[in-house]
Amino acid sequence: MEYKKDDAKQVIIRVSNVSLVWNILLASVKLVAGVIANSHAMISDAIHSGSDVLGTGLVILGAHLSGKKADKEHPYGHERMECVIALLLANILVLAGIAIGYAGIKTVLSIRAEATVAAPGTLALAAAVVSILVKEGMYWYTIIAARKINSVSLKAEAWHHRSDAFSSVGSLIGIAGARMGFAVLDPIASIVICIFIIKIAVDIFLETVDKMVDKSCDDSIIQNMEQEIKNVQGVIDIDDIKTRQFGAKMYVDVEIQVDGELSLKNAHTIAEDVHATIERSDENIKHCMVHVNPSLN
């Protein structure tokens, strides 16, 4: 299914609402299971799912803010608000990872000081399996939508789901090991998962920063634009082309050469053709500015 530009906000809100419901349910189930089954790993997992609830709320807020039309104070629109939300999500992931790692280290040290430690119950094991299946499913549901509408905040939300699935895998291994007599494996699993979560957060942070500092588009995109421009009748050559990412969108500035003997009206017509061609070539191009130079030949 292809999404139109105007549908992006609705897609983000729909996907996020589904995520919100599942995150609340999972966080509640895992917290209860962790407490009843005496599993530190599952309680840490529940905290991670709780951070997902906050993250999903931010994604919904970002969809509303970035979808606002351009105004006097923001003539270029509000698309970068989605990047701001993605940065907040990255920070939430880091904090969740640190909290889980700290709890794991603290528990490992306490286990070493105790003679005996009660093994986690089977309820925690079952909760981990359910969480893995649900969160991996939510990852694919979210990442497919994110790729179709090129949404950085929705992509961050997808990885939030997958990091929760990773966390649950670690919980499953730790709980199973603890039930077999290796009690320390339960909190160690939390420490390992903490590293995965922070790595994902750093990746999201770096990708989002690129979209906020006017980084140019990929070379393949620029090459495609150049070919499209050269195919426009009346264009002799391309003097310069600049691109910059603006949230999930792109801006293009291009200087073309045309016959210096052409009238202003005809040169302007060629510029309009280039403008229309570029904006049709990729739905993520928000605006193309064309400057006309007379050919030196």
Residue 155 sits in a domain of what CATH number? 1.20.1510
Assess whether 133 and 268 both reside in one domain.
no
Is there a single domain that holds both residue 151 and residue 12? yes
Burial 61-100 (b: 16+ CB within 10 A, else e): bbbebbbeeeeeeeeebbbbbbbbbbbbbbebbbebbebb
For residue 118, give every residue at least 6 positions away whose Cβ sits within 8 Å of its Cβ, in sequence order, or none: 38
Chosen domain end from 160, 189, 213: 213
- Closest to 81 in 3D by CA, of 60, 69, 92, 65: 65
Report the C-alpha gap between 179 and 162 in whole angstroms: 25
Shared domain for 165 and 223, answered yes or no, is no
Domain boundary among 213, 231, 262: 213
Q: Are residues 154 and 264 in the same domain?
A: no
| Under 8 Å between Cβ of 77 and 115 | no
Last residue of a domain, one of 213, 236, 252: 213
Count of domains for the chain: 2
Q: In this structure, what token pair is assigned to residue 64?
A: 């509303």
198 shares a domain with 86:
yes
Nearest to 183 by CA among 130, 123, 110, 103: 110
Residue type, 287: H
pLDDT at residue 290 in the model = 93
Same domain flag for 254 and 288: yes
Please state, in angstroms and rounded to a whole number, the distance separating the CA atoms of residues 168 and 150.
28
pLDDT at 119: 66
Alpha carbon 72 to chain centroid distance? 29
Together in a domain, 161 and 45: yes
Q: Are residues 103 and 127 in the same domain?
A: yes
Q: Assess whether 282 and 162 both reside in one domain.
A: no
Report, as ranges of residue numbers, the positions in the chain whose pLDDT lies below 50: 1-6, 115
Are 108 and 175 part of one and the same domain? yes
- Looking up residue 290, the CATH number of its domain turns out to be 3.30.70.1350
Q: Tell me, what's the pLDDT at 1?
A: 41
Q: Could you tell me the residue range of the domain that residue 270 belongs to?
A: 219-295
* Same domain? 21 vs 147: yes
For residues 120 and 240, membership in a common domain is answered with: no
